[in-house]
Structures are given as C-alpha cells and as structure tokens.
C-alpha cells in the first residue's frame, strides 16, 4: 500500500526546503488559509526562490468553483509542486490541484484530522458532495511539527480530533478490515483518546501534541486502508447540506452509527472498552465529545428530522459501497437517530 513518507519533531518545518529538494520541486505553490498565516509568513525564508506564492482562499468543503480557480493559478504560474498547510480544507483543496495537474504534494497538517494520510478527495457542487480516491492525491511527504499546533483553538482541537477518532472507530466497525488497518485504528484511538483529553483540559505539552499528531496520522492510515463507511459518508453529505463542520457532525452521528452497526462493530466496542472499562461504547463516545467541549446536538442543528433524507442520499451516493452501506444498518440508524427519546 502506498503511504507518504513522514518527517517528525518540534521545529521540523525547518526541513521544508530539504523535503522539496528531495522530490525535485523548484516552483512550489502553497495552499494555506487564514488560520495558517503565521506559518505561511515563513515560506519565503524556508523555500527561497522555489516559493511561487500562496493560495489563501480556502473555504470549507472544497467548492468546485474555488478548486478550479486554484488549479488555474497553479497552471498559470507553472507550479511543479503543491504545498498544503492547514487542516482538512487546505489539504483537500491542495489535493484537487495536485490531482488535476499531476503535481507532487507536500502536506503540513496544523490540525488533528488525519486527512493528509488518505487518498480520498471531495469537491462540492450544486449537486452535493462528489468524492473519489486516487493515489495521486497522497502527499509525497507529510511534515508533522507539534510546534504548529501549540496555539490551536480548542474548538478546532475538538472538531478535527473527533474526526480522527471517527476514522478509527469506523475502521473497526467492519469485520473485514485488514489486520494492519485494525492495528492502526486501535493504536490511533489509544493515542487520540489520551492526548486530546489532556489538550482539552489545558495540558498541551510537546509530548501530548506529538501523540495527538501520531494518533491522527494512524487514524488517517486506517481510513485510507478501509475507505469510507456509513458514518463518514453521512457526515460529508450532511456537512454540504447544513452549516456545520464535518467534525461536529461526526461527533453527533458517531454513537448513533455505532449502535446501528450492532454486533458487526464488536472490534470498535472492544477497543473503546479498553479505554473506558465498564462503560457502554456509545456512552463513552458521547462523554468524550462533551469533554472536548462539543455540546451541540442533532436537534440544535435541525438535522434530526432530516436523517431519513440524508441516509437515503448516502445510500444512493456513487461512493457508497454495498459492503459498507447496508440497508438493515441504515434502517436502524434512521430509527435511532430520528428518535427524540
């Protein structure tokens, strides 16, 4: 299985020039939204004459029109590599540029979502979320610098971290996942559960941040190996239809989807039981989300009443695999998430 090479450690962003040289990049366009202003300000120094400039308009969910503009900019400036700095939105947009122009991608994640380790990409249009997979969107190298997440706002810690947790839980919710992917998911879940809780409580030391990045990286690997199931497709479809982050939607749907999977998700329940012995897995996930500061619910977002419409859209989506989106599970989810009791 193709996986990106990785560079780890505090201050490892300083190796960006070395990384770009190793892939033969001479004209690098950065994709970095407003949240990465501080890091982007260092690129001229780090890349020197290689640095073409920065695409800074990075809206959520990668709108197709914005992706076209970014691709056009890379084409006009004759970029020969793309650098993504940020979370899922920046990395997602950079993936589309890399795919469209067949350019190598370097990723510098500044959240805990883990999307840098997956071959999935999403573009949103008037028709909704259009998804695909290609090894061309996998970064050649990922730089994990815990200094870059030292001042990450707690709401972003929560929404990105719970996305990575969802990668792990979903990977363990299908009995046929490869053993290696299950191992990544279990180890990633362990690291994320411990480190994210500490960060949310104010203990964001270097080791803790590095553990959270390692957990997110393993979660991304597990998701790459297993592909999206009911939880992720539901979160991604719902995020396009509603003004809520994918992370928040993952947090709210995760316990319901786990219940809907029933005995099929025994591996996931066993992994969570090691972290919270004696507590039902679904309850443990709900309590974990609240500990991260996620307090919204399906009614508050106004999407409980739309669960049938959303799951119907998911079931008919071209990315829905029959072995992942099974009608009995969907019906149980409609009943469980649609109930107000």
Q: What is the pLDDT of residues 53-68, one digit of tens each?
A: 999 999 888 889 999 9
Q: What is the pLDDT of residues 282-320, one digit of tens each?
A: 999 999 999 999 988 888 777 788 888 889 989 988 888
pLDDT single digits (tens) 212-249: 999 999 999 999 999 889 999 998 888 877 767 788 88
CB < 8 Å & 24+ apart, contacts of 197-200: 197/288, 197/291, 197/292, 199/154, 199/157, 199/161, 200/154, 200/157, 200/158, 200/291, 200/292, 200/293
CA atoms within a 13 Å half-sphere pointing along the CA-CB vector of 313: 18
Looking at the predicted structure, is the pLDDT value of residue 1 above 80? no
Close Cβ partners of 86 (under 8 Å, ≥ 6 residues apart): 31, 32, 33, 35, 36, 58, 108, 109, 110, 111
Q: Give the mean pLDDT of 109-128.
A: 90
Q: What is the pLDDT of residues 246-263, one digit of tens each?
A: 888 889 999 999 999 999
Q: Is the pLDDT of residue 339 over 90?
A: no
Closest CA to 173 of 42, 50, 326: 326
Q: Of 127, 148, 169, which one is at a domain's C-terminal end? A: 148
* pLDDT at 204 > cutoff 80: no
Identify the pLDDT of residue 186: 97
Q: Are residues 47 and 115 in the same domain?
A: yes
What is the side-by-side strand order in the sheet with 5-8?
5-8, 141-144, 105-109, 81-86, 28-32, 51-55
Return the CATH number at 100: 3.40.50.1970
User: How confident is the prediction for the chain on average, in pLDDT?
Assistant: 92
State whether 307 and 191 are in the same domain: yes
Q: How many CB atoms lie within 10 A of CB 45?
A: 11
Residues 30 and 54 in one domain: yes
DSSP element (H, E) containing 82:
strand 81-86
Q: 166 with 306, same domain?
A: yes
pLDDT value, residue 87: 92
At 107, give phi and psi (nearest 5°): -120, 140
Task: State whether 28 and 94 are in the same domain.
Answer: yes
- Among 120, 113, 128, smallest CA distance to 64 is for 128
Domain check: are 186 and 288 in the same one?
A: yes
**Is the pLDDT at 23 greater than 70, yes or no?**
yes
Domain end call among 114, 148, 182: 148
Is residue 139 domain-shared with residue 210, that is, in the same domain? Answer: no
In this structure, are 78 and 94 located in the same domain? yes
Contact call for residues 109 and 141 (beta carbons, < 8 A): no
| Confidence at residue 341, expressed as pLDDT on a 0 to 100 scale | 43
pLDDT band with cut points at 50, 70 and 90 for residue 185: very high
Q: Are 58 and 83 in contact (CB under 8 A)?
A: no
54-63, 66-75, 91-100 — which is least confidently predicted?
Answer: 54-63
Per-residue model confidence (pLDDT) at position 288: 96
Nearest Cα neighbor of 303 from 255, 260, 243, 228 is 243
CATH number at 185 reads 1.20.1090.10
> Average pLDDT in the 155-166 region?
95
163 and 130 housed in the same domain: no
Is the domain of 35 the same as that of 141?
A: yes
Q: How confident is the model at residue 3 (pLDDT cuts 50, 70, 90)?
A: confident
SS3 for 218? helix
Which pLDDT belongs to residue 340?
Answer: 53
| Residue 128 confidence (pLDDT) | 75
Choose among 236, 252, 256: nearest CA to 290: 252
**Structural domain tally of the chain?**
2
Packing angle, helices 266-275 and 281-291, rounded to 10: 50
Whether the predicted pLDDT of 45 surpasses 50: yes
DSSP annotation of 180: H
Mean pLDDT across the stretch 125-142? 89
Among candidate residues 106, 125, 148, the one where a domain is terminated: 148
At 263 the three-state DSSP class reads helix
Residues 185 and 136 in one domain: no
Residue range(s) defining the domain that contains residue 104? 5-148
Residue 240 structure tokens: 């396009």
Alpha helices in the chain (DSSP H): 16-22, 37-40, 43-47, 64-76, 88-101, 154-171, 179-200, 206-226, 230-241, 246-261, 266-275, 281-291, 298-301, 307-316, 327-338
Rounded Cα–Cα distance for residues 338 and 305 (Å): 6
Q: What's this model's pTM, rounded to 2 decimal places?
A: 0.94
Residues 212 and 332 in one domain: yes
pLDDT band at 19 (very low <50, low <70, confident <90, very high): very high
């Amino acid at each position: 299985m193709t996986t990106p090479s990785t560079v780890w450690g505090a201050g490892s962003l300083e190796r960006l020039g070395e990384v770009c040289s190793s892939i033969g990049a001479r004209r690098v366009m950065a994709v970095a939204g407003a949240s990465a202003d501080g890091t982007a300000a260092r690129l001229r120094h780090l890349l020197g004459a290689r640095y073409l400039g920065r695409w800074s308009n990075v809206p959520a969910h990668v709108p197709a029109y914005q992706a076209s503009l970014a691709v056009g900019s890379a084409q006009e400036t004759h970029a020969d590599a793309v650098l993504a700095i940020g979370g899922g939105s920046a990395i997602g947009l950079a993936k589309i540029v890399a795919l469209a122009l067949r350019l190598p991608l370097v990723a510098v994640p500044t959240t805990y979502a883990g999307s840098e380790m997956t071959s999935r990409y999403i573009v949103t249009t008037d028709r909704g979320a259009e998804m695909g997979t290609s090894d061309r969107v996998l970064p050649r190298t990922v730089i994990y610098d815990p200094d870059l997440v030292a001042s990450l706002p707690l709401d972003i810690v929560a929404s990105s971290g719970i996305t990575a947790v969802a990668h792990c839980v979903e990977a363990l919710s299908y009995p046929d996942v490869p053993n290696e992917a299950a191992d990544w998911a279990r180890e990633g879940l362990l690291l994320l559960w411990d480190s994210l809780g500490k960060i949310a409580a104010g203990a964001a030391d270097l080791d803790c941040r590095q553990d959270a990045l390692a957990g997110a990286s393993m979660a991304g690997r597990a998701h790459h190996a297993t592909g999206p199931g009911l939880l992720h497709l539901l979160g991604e479809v719902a995020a396009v239809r509603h003004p809520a982050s994918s992370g928040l939607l993952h947090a709210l749907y995760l316990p319901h989807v786990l219940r809907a999977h029933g005995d099929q998700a025994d591996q996931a329940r066993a992994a969570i039981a090691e972290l919270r012995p004696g507590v039902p897995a679904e309850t443990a996930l709900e309590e974990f989300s609240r500990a991260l500061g996620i307090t919204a619910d399906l009614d508050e977002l106004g999407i409980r009443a739309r669960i049938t419409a959303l799951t119907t859209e998911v079931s008919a989506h071209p990315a829905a695999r029959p072995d992942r989106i099974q009608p009995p599970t969907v019906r149980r989810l409609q009943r469980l998430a649609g109930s107000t009791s």
